[in-house]
Amino acid sequence: VAPERTVLSLTPTAAPPSFPGFDELYKERQRLRGIDDSVYAQVEPYAGMPKEVLLLYSSQARYRVPREVLFWLTVCCTLALVAVTVAIIALSPPCLGWWQISPVYQVYPRSFKDSNGDGVGDLRGIKEKLDHFHSLNIKSIWISPFYRSPMKDFGYDVEDFRDVDPLFGTMEDFEELLAEMHKNGLKLIMDFIPNHSSDRHRWFNLSRTRDPLYEDYYVWADCNATKKPNNWVSIFGNSSWTYDEVRGQCYLHQFLKEQPDLNMRNPAVRKEIIDIIHFWLSKGVDGFRMDAVKHMLEATHLRDEPQVDPNKPPEEVTTEWDLFHDYTTSQVGLHDILREFRAEMEPYSREPGKYRFMVTESYDYEEVEKTMMYYGTPLVKESDFPFNFYLLDLPQNASGLWAKHLVDLWMSNMPRGKWPNWVVGNHDRSRIASSAGKMYVGVINMLLLTLPGTPTTYYGEEIGMENINITADQRSPMQWNSDMNAGFNNLTNITWLPVHPDYKSVNVEVQKDSEGSTMFQYNFLNSLRQAELPFLRGWFCYVQADANIFSYLRELDGHKEAYLMVLNFGKQSATTDLSSVRELPDQLKVLMSTNSTNNGKVFQKSGIQTAAGEGLVIRYSTYTRFHPSHSTECYVSEKACYLDTVGILYKC
């Protein structure tokens, strides 16, 4: 029994609820408990009161009503919060994938870092240099082939699709590299070669001996040592047919004779390829770059391809440029195969944060509409994007008009809502500093990192490496520092290709903290691209193009900050007059110039000065947008708006 209280209530207490016989039952219960109700009749509620006292007061209006109000207020607030959350989710644009946010960095493993002193880069060497990707704010790493191979085509002739070549290490080395990359938030994209294998592959040896299971794994045709099935020519020149004495037939090879084409019309071959895809995906790789996909099918009728010059003697038709490749590339059924590959990859993307990426490689030159087909359709998914190689042609013509033409070639043909991408260098093409000239490295990197979509950087381009004067001259060892062998091989004085003589001044260690260096500027631009919404989510609009200047802007509805790029690809200084662009403020301040002495400089929009090879990023503040009145000059993959007051994106 609770102790008596000395403070008495002067107000009548509410009677407890009752029903016939309640009073008698209640009094008997209280008597049995030894409780005297008179003790509590005039006592106010107090902390620690027993249940019996609480029950006497809980039904009173002054206690019941606030309790009910709080309950319903909590219910309403919860429902309102759920409604707001649903609305935000419904109105928000889809999150960007890792392959959209970060540039793709191509590692050529032979030349990146040698860990064991044999003069050839390897997987352990890549693992040693993962910090370099963090310093560049790069998350997506594409590694060129490291499969077991005779190396007739630097690894693109695969002897075993499920093994690592000893030159690069072991499968354990690969697994350790992959685990360390994932631990550090990096993604690994593998080169995948579905078109052909090495002539030393087990499949080919079984096929040439007519093993019943492997007889049709490759493309064979009747011929003899002197008479080929047709006039088809390989990418590397001369006939794409080679006579095999063991089988007594010719086999097709659209590349080297040591790279026989797989017969992708054979369901058993497609299953083998799909099994290999599963093999690597189950190990945890994050995506594939599908190599040479346009060559995967050829016409079954084996007719001669038409000559570009009909009057040229057939015996002089020896290069790929002599023929129209109507029967050896982009055949009907090609995209069905690629979509099948994609469908097999999709289940691995269902786990959050584990999206598996697919990019296709196809040089289609002026037939850009063929390249666009690799995007798939609105109903059937294919590659996330096909590689865009058109900017590789920038050095052919040093002008702003040419730069705009190459950019617009992609943007005006890309299917609505798709994601663009840009490549300015790779293992098959001359380096920027050698093909365009060292003075244009900065402005080309600025173009690459401020255009919409995903940029791809070939190793060494972030420091402005140049070619060396031998075969495969764009594949020389990565220049890490001023030490022996540029830090590529610290154990012996051996490198598989010579190191460029300029390595003491052009290297990562020298450039990483030097404000005017190529690497410092690359890092700044990449960080800006990933930090500022107009670059990842905003509109891309042409502003001006002439013999020297290519100018465009990036803006986002509702976002106060916008960016104007003024890039001088010409051979002389230029003054750009943008006074007719009313959406721009009269004064424009340079956020970054490839000539660091011009950082922070203020120009009138009627007189923006640039030297040859100079690029400017200009940041300005306005809510007046350019794209509504210039719709034919502007593009966006998926329209979004920014609500500045609360800092969220929404569909608009």
Single-letter amino acid, residue 221: A
Contact yes or no for 103/138 (Cβ under 8 A): yes
What span, in angstroms and rounded, lies between the C-alpha atoms of 236 and 377?
Answer: 33
Ramachandran region of residue 27, left (φ > 0), alpha (ψ -120 to 50) or beta? alpha
* R_g over Cα of the chain: 35
Contact yes or no for 359/387 (Cβ under 8 A): yes
Ramachandran region of residue 34, left (φ > 0), alpha (ψ -120 to 50) or beta? left
Contact yes or no for 627/542 (Cβ under 8 A): no
Number of other CB atoms surrounding residue 332 within 10 Å: 8
Contact yes or no for 63/57 (Cβ under 8 A): yes
What span, in angstroms and rounded, lies between the C-alpha atoms of 640 and 539?
Answer: 9
3-state secondary structure of 344: helix
Q: Which of 153, 149, 319 is nearest to 240 (CA)?
A: 319
CA atoms within 13 A on the CB side of 285: 20
Considering the candidates 361, 382, 462, 583, report the single residue annotated as catalytic: 361
- CB within 8 A of 70, min separation 6: which ones? none
Contact yes or no for 406/366 (Cβ under 8 A): no
With tokens 């003024």, the residue in question is 566
Based on the residue annotation, tell me whether 291 is a catalytic residue of this protein: yes
What span, in angstroms and rounded, lies between the C-alpha atoms of 69 and 371?
Answer: 64
Q: Which of 225, 291, 290 is nearest to 254 (CA)?
A: 291
Query: In Å, how far are 188, 255, 331, 596, 625 from 577, measured between CA atoms?
Result: 45, 50, 49, 22, 19
DSSP string, 483-509: SGGGGS-SSSS--SSPPPGGGGTSSHH
Strand partners, 288: 190, 358
What span, in angstroms and rounded, lies between the C-alpha atoms of 190 and 147?
Answer: 10
Q: How does 179-207 read in b/e, with b if 16+ C-beta sit within 10 Å?
A: eebeeeebbbbbbbbbbbbbbbbebbeeb
- Structure tokens, 650: 């929404």
- Structure tokens, 266: 């054979």
With tokens 């050839």, the residue in question is 120
What span, in angstroms and rounded, lies between the C-alpha atoms of 362 and 314?
Answer: 27
- CB within 8 A of 413, min separation 6: which ones? 368, 369, 372
Considering the candidates 157, 258, 291, 466, report the single residue annotated as catalytic: 291
Angle value at C-alpha 603, between 601 and 606, nearest 5 degrees: 165
Contact yes or no for 341/276 (Cβ under 8 A): no
What span, in angstroms and rounded, lies between the C-alpha atoms of 120 and 146?
Answer: 12
Which letter does DSSP use for residue 279 in this model? Answer: H
Q: How many residues belong to the chain?
A: 652
What span, in angstroms and rounded, lies between the C-alpha atoms of 272 and 278?
Answer: 10
Number of other CB atoms surrounding residue 370 within 10 Å: 16
- Structure tokens, 567: 């890039």
Tell me the catalytic residues. Answer: 291, 361
